[in-house]
Amino acid sequence: MILNGNKINEKLNTTDLSTEEDLFFLEEDSDITLSENLSNPWKIIIADDEEEVHVMTKMVLKKFFFEGRPLKLISAYSGKETIEAMIENDDVAMIILDVVMETENSGLDVVREIRDKIKNPFVRIILRTGQPGQAPEEDVIKNYDINDYKSKTELTVQKLYTAVISSLRSFRDMKTIEKNKVGLEKIISSSKDIFEIKSIEKFSNGILKQLERLLDYCDGRETRIDAAIINYTYGVISSVVGSGKYNDSSALSLEDEIDESLLMSIKKVIREKKSIFFDNIFIGYFTSLGIHENVILLEASRELGQFEIDLLKIFSSNVSIALENIYLNMEIIDTQKEVIFTLGEIVETRSKETANHVRRVAEYSYILAKAYGITEENAKILRLASPMHDIGKIGIPDNILNKPGKLTEAEFEIIKTHSMIGFEILKQSSRRIMKTAAMIALEHHERWDGLGYPSGKKAEEIEIFSRITSLVDVFDALGHKRVYKEKWIMDDILEYIKNERGKMFDPLIVDIFFKHIDEILEIRAKYPDND
């Protein structure tokens, strides 16, 4: 049978496309309530200026399914209408396109616009013509990005059926490749973001955001997820970061918020040390340094497809590597902190001062820096650098450093050199912490009024880190016994700091100090001395 207007009354059931139970044709204006598959039909544009061709083509394809999805046939009667239909439906899978409509080359013009202007490489285009000689097949196939070229006299029911199956299969495969390509690009982009994060909490929040983006991309619409990242250390829940219904979860309440069957699945994942997927749930397992076990619990608002599962697996592998890097980085930082505190403690012990002095100075500095408006990162740098403020005392002779009485003028001049000695020791490093520590060592005895040493700097000529360290160093030293003095009572210490506001100390830092005195005293109590 030939698909032509003058043959429309011939029987169309000579080719058995499927059984009656499997067939469905979706009219454009259908208001039938459909299942998810039926409501997601393959869209095909019939572009022809002959009404009979539209009627006949719809009759042939009305009993047609591909991969469980029916067709939605969209009619266009000119090149202009075809382009409008393409713009309104960016997911059209196939166009059956007549060459001659309002002009002799309307169909060819449509092909060029779709490929060159709309930039749609996916839609499959089958050109058909009633006048083959007007647009020679060889020239058309060579010069236009089409997928098939048929004369109307040769496009039988069977050949149309074959062309539709072939085109839909090709469209599906191209879209799958594109989706995988974009999905992998999303994975790379997401992984880049999480690899740049150094904080466990920020890292966990970052993972949750990237998971949401991945699932939104896969489904093409917003997907609600409830998720939690659970950290187990030595088999005990140590922290939880969550989103959705797990946003306010804590290590103590998490087990109460998860139903028993899901909790059993999480325990199975930890026991077997591998991730699992089922329905709308992903439970991912990661371990690091042989100590930290981490579980990502993700509950999506819909069932997860195989494509999403594959992307989550790839993403999870990158998460595992990034997590390992974070823990290694944390271990390096913790080691650095221990080395820094040990250096400070050695100096303090040598000068018969207590080791906890440097720990208290570190915490006081951090509190004042944050209150001053310094960023979290810089406040942490100060907390690490300030304990080395007196590292230069390592170069001061014992008989002067530990002299119980008042120093002579000459001895005091020697003591003052510890600022420059500390600077010279620390300045050689290119590390930011050490450079900051070198600056603090040099300037922590400078005064706001310019009467300090070694350079007589004043006011804001002195770096803010040094001005903060200066105040907390004096506050802590006055409150504890030293070889050259007795311990002061707190009221006298606070009165002294008030009196030195605008003299020894930056007035603003003094004000901040008193606003946060309760926090300061808590730190003092946390790291006591036996004096």
How far is the first Cα of the chain from the last one, in angstroms, to the nearest whole number?
107
457 assigned to active site: no
How far is the C-alpha of 328 from the C-alpha of 331, rounded, in Å? 5
How far is the C-alpha of 443 from the C-alpha of 102, rounded, in Å? 85
How far is the C-alpha of 530 from the C-alpha of 159, rounded, in Å? 96
Cα–Cα separations (whole angstroms), residue 442 to 360, 379, 380, 461: 20, 19, 20, 13
Q: Do 160 and 53 touch, CB atoms closer than 8 A? A: no
Residue 78, amino acid: S
How far is the C-alpha of 353 from the C-alpha of 481, rounded, in Å? 8
Run of H or E including 127:
strand 124-129
Residue 513, amino acid: F
- Pure H helices in 125-253: 137-143, 157-195, 200-219
Task: Check residue 116 and report its DSSP letter.
Answer: I
How far is the C-alpha of 386 from the C-alpha of 463, rounded, in Å? 13
Residue with the two structure tokens 């950290």? 231
Q: Do 366 and 382 touch, CB atoms closer than 8 A? A: yes
3 state DSSP class of 248: coil
3 state DSSP class of 343: helix
Token pair, residue 284, equals: 């991912």
Catalytic residue among 268, 393, 457, 498: 393
- Pure H helices in 386-453: 398-401, 409-416, 418-426, 432-443
Sequence-ordered list of residues with C-beta below 8 angstroms from that of 465, at least 6 positions apart, any chain: 365, 369, 382, 385, 386, 436, 439, 440
How far is the C-alpha of 317 from the C-alpha of 344, rounded, in Å? 41
How far is the C-alpha of 245 from the C-alpha of 251, rounded, in Å? 15
Phi, psi (deg, nearest 5) at residue 388: -95, 15
CA dihedral over 154, 158, 164, 169, signed as positive or negative: negative
Strands 92-98 and 276-278, by their bridges, are unpaired
Q: Which of 109, 86, 170, 101 is CA-nearest to residue 131? A: 101
* Active site positions, annotated: 393
